[in-house]
């Protein structure tokens, strides 16, 4: 929905999905991206860090690196 110009709806749907399936890294990742686009960097970073943790547990190194890059883009002073 974010790509359809409805970020508020997308955020609500991602949060609902997380409440139903709390260990889905991709949902946290998508939520983080959407929040970042909506100028909510703190919440975006929290969700991206959770996605990173879950991707790391799945040994998905490519996504871990991608998440790290996104976090750096959202707030370059924060690690």
Residues 6-59: pLDDT tens digits?
899 999 999 999 999 999 999 999 999 999 999 999 999 999 999 999 999 999
Whole-prediction pTM: 0.89
- Identify the residue whose tokens are 């959202």: 74
Rounded to 5 degrees, φ, ψ at 39 are 60, 40
H or E, element range at 55 = helix 41-57
Residue 5 pLDDT level (bands cut at 50, 70, 90) = confident
Give how many domains the chain has, as a whole number. 1
How far apart are the C-alpha atoms of 28 and 48, rounded to whole Å?
Answer: 6
Report yes or no on 19 lying in a domain. yes
Report yes or no on 79 lying in a domain. no
In terms of C-beta density within 10 A (0-12 exposed, 13-18 middle, 19 or more buried), how is residue 31 classed?
buried
Res 79: pLDDT: 47
Q: For position 46, which CATH number holds?
A: 1.25.40.10
Report yes or no on 28 lying in a domain. yes
């Amino acid at each position: 929905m974010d790509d359809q110009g409805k970020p508020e709806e997308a955020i609500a749907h991602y949060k609902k999905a997380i409440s139903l399936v709390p260990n889905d890294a991709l949902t946290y990742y998508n939520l983080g991206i959407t929040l970042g686009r909506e100028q909510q960097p703190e919440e975006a970073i929290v969700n991206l860090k959770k996605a990173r943790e879950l991707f790391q547990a799945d040994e998905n190194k490519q996504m871990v690196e991608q998440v790290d890059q996104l976090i750096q883009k959202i707030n370059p002073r924060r690690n």
